[in-house]
Amino acid sequence: MHTSWLPDTSPVELTTMARTFKQSHSFESRAAESAKIRARYSDRVPVIVERAKNEHTLGALDKKKYLVPGDVTLAQFTYIIRKRMRMDHTTAMYVFVETVEDAKRSFILPPTSSTLTSIYRDHADEDGFLYLSYNGENFSG
């Protein structure tokens, strides 16, 4: 595997970087964790944020799990993520929601004015987490 574009990482670290939250944790442990979170913090949304599989413009986040107040809009949450990543203002970032219907996985781009509670209500995974992925694009002008 040609990895000259990657920082100095070992093959073990590369394997870990490629694993998603779902691949790293069993369904039972994810479901138990989200149920515990929802019971303790009923006004908050458990969110998993991961870089899209084909994304090469943006870096990876330092953490994947977020506990977000339900009244936060997607635009506000995107701003928080951008700040964590120290993104340049010339880089666009798109946040998608992972959905599974009829055993078919797809991604939708929800309105940025939607609250995370409404997105969670419509698109939460069976395990109780809301899965968001991000993708970017450079533009100038």
Instruction: Tell me what pLDDT residue 60 has.
Output: 81
pLDDT, tens digit (0-9, with 9 covering 90-100), for 42-55: 999 999 999 888 77
Mean predicted confidence (pLDDT) in 12-28: 71
Q: How many CA atoms lie within 13 A of 46 on its CB side?
A: 20
Q: What is the DSSP letter of 72?
A: -
pLDDT, tens digit (0-9, with 9 covering 90-100), for 39-95: 999 999 999 999 888 777 788 888 999 999 999 999 999 999 999 988 877 888 899
What is the C-alpha separation between 49 and 130, in angstroms, rounded? 8
Helix, strand, or coil here: 36? helix
User: Quick check: 31 and 12 in contact, CB under 8 A?
Assistant: no
pLDDT, tens digit (0-9, with 9 covering 90-100), for 87-116: 877 888 899 998 877 778 888 999 999 999
**Residue 5 corresponds to which tokens in the numbers above?**
């574009």
Lowest-confidence pick of 14-18, 34-38, 45-49: 14-18
Instruction: Tell me what pLDDT residue 15 has.
Output: 37
Domain ranges of the chain: 11-138
For the domain bounded by 11-138, which CATH number is listed? 3.10.20.90
